[in-house]
Structure 1
């Protein structure tokens, strides 16, 4: 099967890319991490006007994946999976403003509950008193909060869409790290030649390219038919590929890659956090195993 975007989808992707490329998302993400949410709220409003909060109800999962890949590629902060993927489907209504949720045990804490206009436990809004203490994330743009209350019911279709959106975000982040790494090794010299000319560097980056290229059809296939098996497979592949991109990017950048001041750190920490978000790879491998045992490999 050959997957190609239609003209409207390509136009949507191009429009979104132009918006984010001109929005200085690195500055937005750094401000968000420091507790200054004004630039992030302004970008949220612009993306809302672009229709991102309507995609889950008014478009297809393909458009949703286009949007979330762009969000990952530009390290856009905020509870987008919660607001644009899970809650619209679970509640049957478009989210107004910024919303977040906890869905234990799979999503044990609510992302950015201190910024959100409404916090949910599952699909049900909760009072401010139910929001507990801030928990530290490896990604400083992700502020996680405990939410008190009974274990909520899971909306299965909404969950599949949220998992798919997270996979698309990982794919976009992995692509960004690879692109930045390729650019860096072409400029950085050692012993009088660009380090990208060394076979070991070429092979490491080629492995990342292959991993991302094998991931994209799984994400696209899940967008066309977002079953539990398809979204789990997409999340596993995207997690592994993006994590490989992060590890390789860190290695080829050398010492500067370890510094928080270098922009690469935004994607490295985001990838590490998203790998475990909306189900770890181990969780989704278990989902795949159970599905295969129940329905057979070719079901």
Structure 2
């Protein structure tokens, strides 16, 4: 299998980068962490204008009817720019759980959705801010009350992430479409790749600014090796994420890609392998960027901290690397691990 971005996807990525680069996303993330969410809401509406939240929504509901590979482009950009909020839940999971007017509202950027899927996702991200709070138990989708108690927030290493337990009672919405968990895993993997790219870029730039013994530290071979290791790890992860998107496309109805024989085991195998590789790349990028920046990287004022904490949180979100290694093992042995 070979995967390359189409000209349309490259243009989409460029438009997203232009929007997000001019939106002060570090400032938006800090405001979001303090629960001053209007800047984040505005950014959400701007992303809706580019079609981000409707990528996987059918055209008859106002979406683009696109494929998971298009969502990977968007979510990688969100990870690169540290966009706060239930990005994965709204962009790629909600279309597997909702329908009708509620899904049309998500596509239009009018509704922000979040979800809890025990045991993989035991708490709902930013349920105090989201307009639609869902719970998935097996194949049953329930819409639960969105007026959560702010005092029930579970602390996260990433201050911008608010995690909330959700009740089991609510309004039944019927059965979910297949592979909602795998879509979430793919989305988080794409975010991790984007965050890793950003930290690698920050470390490379700072290595040419920081001087020791009269020379930029980036001229020292040891630092070059550190940055090269991150680059290699990242280049190993991206094809797995892209490949998982292509495999997941085969689960759409009608199929969004020609992937013969991509059943449940293949989908679990590929999405879990993508999460493992993306997590490894992002954690290495975080460690290396902190080494390159030195003490300044530890400070709350430096933007690097936003990505360091986000990566640590995303590494365990939608399943740890160890859990996904187990899913890969189960899948290759003939099960589907779900």
Q: TM-score, normalised by structure 2?
A: 0.84
Is this contact kept in 2: 1:130–1:149, CA < 8 A? no
- Which of 209, 222, 236 aligns to 1:200? It is 222
- Structure 2, gaps ≥5 residues long: 58-64, 249-266
When structure 1 is superposed on structure 2, of 265-274 and 86-95 the one drifting more is 86-95
Aligned to 1:76: 83
The reply to whether residue 186 of structure 1 matches residue 200 of structure 2 is: no
**CA displacement at 1:115 relative to structure 2:** 0.8
Aligned to 2:158: 139
Is this contact kept in 2: 1:120–1:126, CA < 8 A? yes
Is this contact kept in 2: 1:130–1:148, CA < 8 A? no
- Structure 1, gaps ≥5 residues long: none
- Which of 118, 131, 152 aligns to 1:104? It is 118
When structure 1 is superposed on structure 2, of 163-172 and 128-137 the one drifting more is 128-137
CA distance in 2, matches of 1:295, 1:30: 43
SS of alignment partner, residue 56 of structure 1:
coil
**CA displacement at 1:154 relative to structure 2:** 7.0
RMSD after superposition:
1.9
Aligned to 2:310: 270
The reply to whether residue 126 of structure 1 matches residue 144 of structure 2 is: yes
- Which of 138, 160, 168 aligns to 1:149? It is 168
Change in 2 beyond 3 A, CA 1:220/1:99? same
The reply to whether residue 88 of structure 1 matches residue 95 of structure 2 is: yes
SS of alignment partner, residue 101 of structure 1:
strand
- Could you give the per-residue CA deviations for residues 168-226 of structure 1, whole angstroms, max 9, x where no partner exists? 00000000000000000111001101111111111111100000000011011111112
- Could you give the per-residue CA deviations for residues 13-56 of structure 1, whole angstroms, max 9, x where no partner exists? 11111111111111111111111101000000111121111112
Aligned to 2:320: 280
Structure with more helix by fraction: 1
Is this contact kept in 2: 1:29–1:77, CA < 8 A? yes
Count of residues in Structure 1 that have an aligned counterpart in Structure 2? 296
Residues 212-231 of structure 1 aligned to structure 2 (within 5 Å): 212-226=234-248, 227-231=267-271
SS of alignment partner, residue 231 of structure 2:
helix
Q: TM-score, normalised by structure 1?
A: 0.94
